[in-house]
Amino acid sequence: MKKAKRIILAAAAAMLLFAAVGCGRPAASEPFQIAVIPVQTEGQLGEAMNKLQTILSDALGREVTIQDYPDYNGVVEAMNFGQVDMAFFGPLTYVIANHKSGAEAIVVQLVEDKPTYFSYIITHKDHPWNSLDELFADPSAVTFAFGDPNSTSGSLVPGVELKARGVLVSETESKLKEVRYTGSHDVTALAVQNKQVDAGAIDSAIYENLVEQGTIDGSQLKVIWRSEPLFQYPWAVKKGTDPELIKLLQDTFVSITDETILSGFGISGFAPTTDADYESIRTVAEKEGRLE
């Protein structure tokens, strides 16, 4: 009987010890999952995400997985259905995710140490147009490329400009000869460079980075329109994320100086941000019916 009691007590003690260890490290059992929008398909972004994954894993003391999604909306839905802990959004996709699931922006990218960028409309240097007035003198002859329909600089903001000029009605209706949605900024740039379309909309920071990487030939392209400044791409966590984890993530991102990561994203660094910084994008999104 005494031997049986000792066995039971030993087993109970082992179970308590196992539970204590497990409770002390609850996060280590599951990966911290991050989703990334497909801002570009070419260049050094893949290597940058691999290095970022390692840095975040070391900082959090747990496995971190970063997955790039095939389209912008997929990242919104992944956050909406609780499939990821954090996501890299465009400004528009962020406000949509915030509206749908309460995603919270905590880190913003910096370009030349500023948290802003622009939407560009570019054309090939061989074309005679140097402004949108010249480009749309005869809209029925123009082929135009947007990026992903949910891209801020590749669709929303330039789309508003084209609507104001009366050449675009919706994603499916326009006075243009053809409207394409390429899915990413680099594909748009290459389509313009290869004269597959007459003009296209692109993120200014990505455009400059693609030129620097040699993915596109800047000498073959020219910018004929630039938007007002837009607040840069945010990294956002799911609703209810522990404040201590948010602070750790912010500190880790802000401390990153690895040139592979920075050049891969075409940025100079990271800084903390809040939802309030995206109010102007939210206003445009609401006006365009994107938050219904």
The string of pLDDT tens digits covering residues 46-103 is: 899 999 999 999 999 999 999 999 999 999 999 999 999 999 999 999 999 999 999 9
The domain 119-227 is placed in CATH, from the list 3.40.1280.10, 3.30.300.20, 3.40.190.10, 3.40.50.150, at: 3.40.190.10
Q: For domain 30-115+231-287, say whether CATH 3.40.190.10 is its number.
A: yes
Q: Is 214 left (phi over 0), alpha (psi -120 to 50) or beta?
A: left
Structural domain spans, the chain: 30-115+231-287, 119-227
The yes-or-no answer to whether 30-115+231-287 and 119-227 have a common fold is: yes
The string of pLDDT tens digits covering residues 216-238 is: 999 999 999 999 999 999 999 99
The pTM is what?
A: 0.85
Confirm if 91 and 231 have CB atoms less than 8 A apart.
yes
Confirm if 93 and 78 have CB atoms less than 8 A apart.
no
